[in-house]
Amino acid sequence: MTESEFEAMHQRYLDGTSRPGERELMEQWSRQLGASENLTLPESEREQVRVAMWRRIEVLAHGDGGATGRVLRHPASFWRTPIMRWAAAVLLFLGAALAVLLPRRQVPIAAPSWVQQHNTGKQPEILTLADNSRVTLYPGSSLQYRPGLAGARREIKLRGEAFFQVTKNPARPFLVYTEQLVTTVLGTSFRVKAYLGRPNEVAVQEGRVAVQLRRGADLGATPAQPAAGGILLLPNQQVAYSALAPRSLQKKLVANPIVLAPQAFTFEKQPVISVLQALEKAYGVTILYDKNKLAGCTITVTFYQESLYEKLDVLSQALGASYATIDDAQIRFRSNGCAL
């Protein structure tokens, strides 16, 4: 539609002689005037429209004002004249039409850049995140995370080694990405190692941790619902993965299990099976043994600050037995039994 056609249609609307469909069109444009959702022109183009509208007012008021070089002055009374009220109305309609008809320009919103933390010193550094989670970042290691841990998930990228003490929040899982693995927790303590060229490792101190391969990871997985192909780690359990020797994830016991549930380690002529059960409860481990062969075995022993493996060494020497750690974070204790 040209400007002259629009002016003619507007005049018919003012005279009450609109043709079929014209009145509805004019009223639709009128309703759109000033609507915020239509004001989408960039600043530079809005200025071009403003200049064009002002130029049009000059032409309507003085004929070819620009050609004669006359300067248009506009006191308040100037806008009260019928011709100028009409001209302003037409140009406002044209401006609204331009805002509607011109292609909308979507200005991309830049995603917030990730915060980076590097430990270039020789001692571990303790960082407190926006959710009050604490990270012990070891020398030569680095972290990346969104400002304020923004997003549906609290996400961390790690290179090197860090110990995490995560504030519990079931609604916003906490994810740690390494080169090979994705670790997901809701709130717990665990250690992650991800040094370049070495296996990626995750070891749990308390709580439950879901681990899966990063490639093709299900980011919606949680410890309550681990991903298919992922594993669930409990305290004193760990997993290690290397792309150089790929295989399915297998959990193992950590090198030095800690006591999770303190027990009395003084036994006076107690069944060896009772000692093994106390160790299972204290360290949260599963010890496999032949109950029939150990049924007649008793022992008198007191343990103090020995590690789990040192305690098992004492039992093995006393009984002529042996033990070994096996996959799935278990211990196999072998004994030929005791003479009655």
Identify whether the C-beta of residue 178 lies closer than 8 Å to the C-beta of residue 214. yes
Q: Is residue 110 part of a domain?
A: no
What does the pLDDT read at residue 174? Answer: 98
- Residues 169 and 100: their CA atoms lie apart, in Å, by 45
What does the pLDDT read at residue 48? Answer: 60
What does the pLDDT read at residue 22? Answer: 75
Residue holding tokens 């004002």?
65
- Residues 10 and 263: their CA atoms lie apart, in Å, by 92
Question: Between β-strands 181-185 and 209-213, what pairing exists: parallel, antiparallel or unpaired?
Answer: antiparallel
- The partner residues of 189 in beta bridges, in order of sequence, read 165, 206
pTM value surpassing 0.75: no
- Residues 178 and 231: their CA atoms lie apart, in Å, by 16
What does the pLDDT read at residue 65? Answer: 45
Identify the domain boundary among 73, 101, 129: 101
22 and 137 inside one domain: no
Write out residues in the chain with pLDDT < 70, as ranges. Answer: 1-4, 6-7, 10-11, 13-16, 26-112, 339-340
Reported residue count of the chain is 340
284 and 317 inside one domain: yes
Domain with 278, as residue range(s), is 266-334
Written as six digits, the tokens of 54 are 């002002």
What does the pLDDT read at residue 337? Answer: 87
Question: Between β-strands 181-185 and 174-177, what pairing exists: parallel, antiparallel or unpaired?
Answer: antiparallel
What does the pLDDT read at residue 113? Answer: 85
Identify whether the C-beta of residue 233 lies closer than 8 Å to the C-beta of residue 209. yes
308: domain CATH number is: 3.55.50.30
Identify whether the C-beta of residue 162 lies closer than 8 Å to the C-beta of residue 133. no
- The partner residues of 190 in beta bridges, in order of sequence, read 164, 204
122 and 228 inside one domain: yes
- Residues 185 and 210: their CA atoms lie apart, in Å, by 7
What does the pLDDT read at residue 23? Answer: 74
245 and 280 inside one domain: no
